[in-house]
Amino acid sequence: MTVRTRFAPSPTGFLHIGGARTALFSWAYAKKHQGKFVLRVEDTDVERSTPEAVQAIMDGMAWLGLSHDEGPFHQMQRMGIYQKHLETLLASGHAYYCYSSKEELGALRAQQVEAGMKPKYDGKWRPEVGKVLPEVPADIKPVIRFNNPKEGAVAWDDLVKGRIEIANTEMDDVIIARGEGTPTYNFCVVVDDWEMGITHVIRGDDHVNNTPRQINMLNALGATVPHYAHLSMILGSDGQKLSKRHGAVSVMQYHEDGYLPEAILNYLGRLGWSHGDDEVFDIKQFCEWFDLDHITPSAAQFNTEKLNWLNAHYIKNADLDALAPDITKRMAALGVAVRAEPPIKTVLELYRERANNLNQLAADIAYFYIVPETNAKDAEKHLTDEIKPVMAVMAETLKNTTWTAEAIHEVIAATVKENVLKFPKIAMPLRVMLAGIAQSPSIDQVMAILGKETVLNRMAHYLK
RNA sequence: GUCCCCAUCGUCUAGAGGCCUAGGACACCUGGUUUUCAUCCAGGCGACAGGGGUUCGACUCCCCUUGGGGACACCA
C-alpha cells in the first residue's frame, strides 16, 4: 500500500513553527516510503479564513522546501462531496437534525460548568426508540449532529503515543453541519482523509480528543480507518505554550530574522525525534532516517541557542553563490549597497566562519562597502596618541607595498619590530580605523580585501 | 470540574530488565590554538520527580502521588 500523508492547516494565520514541524514530519514520512504528500486547506470557517493566510502558509512551505504532491485542495470547493456523505449518514440514522438554539445550548453549558460537569449536549433531539421528539420550531435552522454510539469505547494504536482508549460516554453528539448548511471540521476531516486515501494521519496532539469521534464517523461511513500519529506540542523556552511573546512563531519570521531554511529544518527534525546521537543532518539524510518509532511522546521546549548553533553550521557550509545574493539583499535593507569590489564572495569567505545569523553577517561586513562608524570606546582604548605617529609612518610604507595579505603582514611585522611592540598594539588600532571596531578577522587579510586606496583613506582620516 | 496525554542533566535527547559508574548535543565553566573577537580543539559541571510493588536484578514493567500539558464551540 502506498503511504499517503497530508498536511491540513486552517488558513487563519501564518505557518507557525509547530505547524511547520507537523508538515515536515508528514512530508518526510511520505518521502521515506516513496508515498504522496497531500496539502489540504481547511477553510470551512468562513469567518476566519483568508486568502492571505493561504498564501502565507504556501510561502512558508515553499521556503522550507516542503513541496506537496497533490493539492492544495480547498474544503470550501468540496461541498458537494460532504453533502453526499451527510445524506448517507442522515439516511442511515447515524446523524440527525437538532433544533436547539445557540442560546439554549449556551445556557445548558453554563449550567453544566456551574455544576462542575463536563459540558455536553443533552441529547434533546437525538432520536431513540420509543422517544417522542419535541415539536419542530419553525424559526430555527437545524444543525446536523452525528449520532455517536452510546456504549463501549473507541481505541486505536497511536503510532507515537501507543494505545489510547476513550469511552463513548465521553463523546458528544458533535455538530457536523451548521444551521446554514456548511459542514464542520470534524466531518470534513473524516470525509477528506477517507476520500483522499490518507493512510497516515500525522498531526498535533491537540487532536487526540477528536480522533475517537472521527473513528466513529469513519466506521459509520463504512470507511477505512487510517493510522494515527499524534505529535506533542512545541513549547516556548519557558515551557509555556508557544505564542507571540516568545518572539518568532511564524516560520517566515525566521527567514527575516536571519535563519537559513536548512537550519530550521534540521532543528525541527531533531525536536521530538532522534536518530541515536546524530545532531546534524540535511533534509535528504532526514528523509532516509525518519520514522515514527523514534518520536518522543512528550512535549518539547523550543531552544533558540541550539537553533543558532545549527544556523552557524549551515552558514559555514552554505553555497557561496546562494549566500551572496541573500546577504546582498539583507545589506540593502540596512542601506548598504554592495559593489563589485571587493567581491562579496571573498568577504563572505572570510567572515562566515564567525557568523550564526545572516542579518548579523550582513551587518558585520558592511564596512567593506561603507565607511563604518567608529566605536568610541575601542578608539579610545587602542587608537592612542602614542601609536598614531607609528601608524602614520606605516601608512607611508603601505603606499609602496604590493597589495597582498603576505606583503601587508610583513609591513606590520616590521613596524612591530622597529618599535619594539606587541603585535596587537598595531593590529587593534588598524581594526578601529578600518572596521570601526576592535574585532575583525586577521587584519592583513581584511586590508588585502579592502584594497589599498580604501585602507589609506580610512587611515588618513584618523591620522591627519 | 470531567476526560486524555506526558515525566532522564537548565534545554533537545539516547536508553526496548543486566551493555548504566546513565551516553550524545546545545548552553555554561576551564584550558589550548589564534594577532583581538569569533571559529576550532581538549576537558569539566550536570539528570532517571517521589513512593510502593513485580523481578535474582528496574531509568526501563505495573500501581499510587505529585507536577506539567491538551481537549471539552454552529473554531479548526
Which segment of A19-33, A265-279, A399-413 scores lowest on mean pLDDT? Answer: A399-413
**Is the pLDDT reported for residue A109 higher than 80?**
yes
Q: How far apart are CA A345 and CA A324, in angstroms?
A: 6
**Is the pLDDT reported for residue A457 higher than 80?**
yes
Asked if residues A211 and A19 have their Cβ atoms less than 8 Å apart, the reply is: no
CB atoms within 10 A of CB A344: 22
Q: What is the mean pLDDT of residues A206-210?
A: 94
Closest by Cα among A446, A433, A366, A438 to A395:
A433
Q: What is the pLDDT of residue A244?
A: 66
Asked if residues A43 and A75 have their Cβ atoms less than 8 Å apart, the reply is: yes
Q: What is the mean pLDDT of residues A441-457?
A: 94
Report the percentage of chain A scoring pLDDT > 70: 99
CB atoms within 10 A of CB A169: 12
In terms of Cβ atoms closer than 10 Å to its own Cβ (0-12, 13-18, 19+), residue A32 is middle
**Is the pLDDT reported for residue A115 higher than 90?**
no
Which segment of A132-136, A168-172, A205-209, A424-428 scores lowest on mean pLDDT? Answer: A132-136
Residues 100-129 of A with CB under 7 A from strand B: 100-102, 105, 109, 116-120
Residue with C-alpha cell 578600518?
A: A434
Q: What is the pLDDT of residue A131?
A: 87
Phi, psi of A95 (to 5 degrees): -145, 155
Q: What is the pLDDT of residue A66?
A: 97
β-bridge mates for residue A163, sequence order: A157
Spatial CB neighbours of A364, under 8 Å, sequence gap ≥ 6: A351, A354, A355
| Neighbour-count burial for A126-139, b at 16+ CB within 10 Å, e otherwise | beeeeeeeeeeeee
Per-residue pLDDT tens digits for A350-367: 999 999 999 999 999 999
Asked if residues A295 and A272 have their Cβ atoms less than 8 Å apart, the reply is: yes
Strand B nucleotides within a 7 Å radius of protein CB atoms: 1-8, 10-16, 23-27, 34-40, 68-76
Alpha-carbon distances of A326 from A67, A333, A362, A363, rounded to whole Å: 22, 11, 9, 13
- If you write DSSP's letter for every residue of A401-458 in order, what string do you get? S-SSHHHHHHHHHHHHHHTT--HHHHHHHHHHHHHSSS--S-HHHHHHHH-HHHHHHH
For residue A318, give the amino acid letter.
Answer: A
**Is the pLDDT reported for residue A117 higher than 90?**
no
Cα pseudo-dihedral A87, A92, A93, A94, rounded to 10: -80
**Is the pLDDT reported for residue A175 higher than 90?**
yes
Distance A274 CA to B18 C1' (A): 25
Q: What is the pLDDT of residue A248?
A: 61
Distance A161 CA to B16 C1' (A): 15
Per-residue pLDDT tens digits for A219-262: 999 999 999 999 999 998 887 787 666 666 899 999 999 999 99
Asked if residues A207 and A10 have their Cβ atoms less than 8 Å apart, the reply is: no
Residues 365-424 of A with CB under 7 A from strand B: 409, 412, 423-424
| Sign of the four-CA dihedral A55, A61, A62, A68 | negative
Q: How far apart are CA A240 and CA A303, in angstroms?
A: 13
Q: What is the pLDDT of residue A245?
A: 65
Closest by Cα among A269, A161, A143 to A206:
A161
Q: How far apart are CA A189 and CA A151, in angstroms?
A: 24
Q: What is the mean pLDDT of residues A74-78?
A: 96
> What is the distance of C-alpha A60 from the center of its chain?
7
Check whether residue A181 has its CB closer than 7 Å to nucleic acid strand B. no
| Sign of the four-CA dihedral A17, A206, A204, A292 | positive
Q: What is the pLDDT of residue A1?
A: 81
Q: What is the pLDDT of residue A118?
A: 82
Looking across all nucleic acid strands, the nucleotide with the smallest C1' to CA distance from residue A409 is: B35
Per-residue pLDDT tens digits for A261-271: 999 999 999 99
Check whether residue A178 has its CB closer than 7 Å to nucleic acid strand B. yes
Q: What is the mean pLDDT of residues A82-105?
A: 94
Q: Average pLDDT, whole number, for chain A?
A: 93
Check whether residue A359 has its CB closer than 7 Å to nucleic acid strand B. no
Q: How far apart are CA A215 and CA A294, in angstroms?
A: 25
> What is the distance of C-alpha A342 from the center of its chain?
35
Closest by Cα among A107, A291, A272, A75 to A185:
A75
β-bridge mates for residue A300, sequence order: A234
Asked if residues A148 and A172 have their Cβ atoms less than 8 Å apart, the reply is: yes
What global pTM score does this model have?
0.94
Check whether residue A446 has its CB closer than 7 Å to nucleic acid strand B. no
Q: How confident is the model at residue A421 (pLDDT cuts 50, 70, 90)?
A: confident
Q: How far apart are CA A456 and CA A146, in angstroms?
A: 81
Asked if residues A237 and A246 have their Cβ atoms less than 8 Å apart, the reply is: yes
